[in-house]
Amino acid sequence: MRKQQERAPPCPPTLDSIIVEYLREQHARCPNPVTTCPPFSLFAPHRCPEPKQRRQAAPSFTARLGSRRFLMLGTCSGHLKFYNVFSGEEEANYTCHSSAITHLQPSRVSPR
């Protein structure tokens, strides 16, 4: 005769398991779930941050071109020229002013 293995009755759910299950269900309903979850709150609905579009251009002209290795030069005719530091070739030429550009200053505003 085989001994029947005694099975313990299932444990009643704990408050912790109920809350964890509730928060997991909220996170599963997110349109853009992330692997590292932001802090959860029992008093506000859960919402993951919106993903950043990598192909979306930065609103600032200097933020778009400043991430590359360029040398910016202002000319006496009001042109702004971009030179590639590695190749030495002129990459872009913009007419910015009708008189000489004598001073270029970077913006202190950081791109988002």
Question: Phi/psi of residue 28, each to 5°?
Answer: -65, -25
Which letter does DSSP use for residue 41 in this model?
-
Does any domain span residue 27? Answer: yes
Per-residue confidence (pLDDT) for residue 68, from 0 to 100: 62
Stated pTM of the model = 0.36
Tens of pLDDT, residues 32-49: 777 666 667 777 777 777
Angle at 13 between CA 10 and CA 16, to 5 degrees: 140
Does any domain span residue 4? Answer: no
Residues 44 and 68 in one domain: no
Does any domain span residue 53? Answer: no
Domain span at residue 90 reads 61-95
Look at the chain and report how many structural domains it folds into.
2
Does any domain span residue 2? Answer: no
Does any domain span residue 70? Answer: yes
Does any domain span residue 110? Answer: no
Per-residue confidence (pLDDT) for residue 102, from 0 to 100: 85
% of the chain surpassing 70 pLDDT: 66
Residues 18 and 41 in one domain: yes
Structure tokens at 2: 């085989």
The answer to whether residues 72 and 64 touch, using CB atoms and an 8 Å cutoff, is: no
Per-residue confidence (pLDDT) for residue 64, from 0 to 100: 61
Per-residue confidence (pLDDT) for residue 26, from 0 to 100: 79
Does any domain span residue 103? Answer: no
Tens of pLDDT, residues 12-31: 888 888 887 887 887 778 77
Distance CA 89, CA 83 (A): 6
Residues 43 and 69 in one domain: no
User: What average pLDDT does the chain have?
Assistant: 76
Mean pLDDT, residues 62-87 taken together? 79
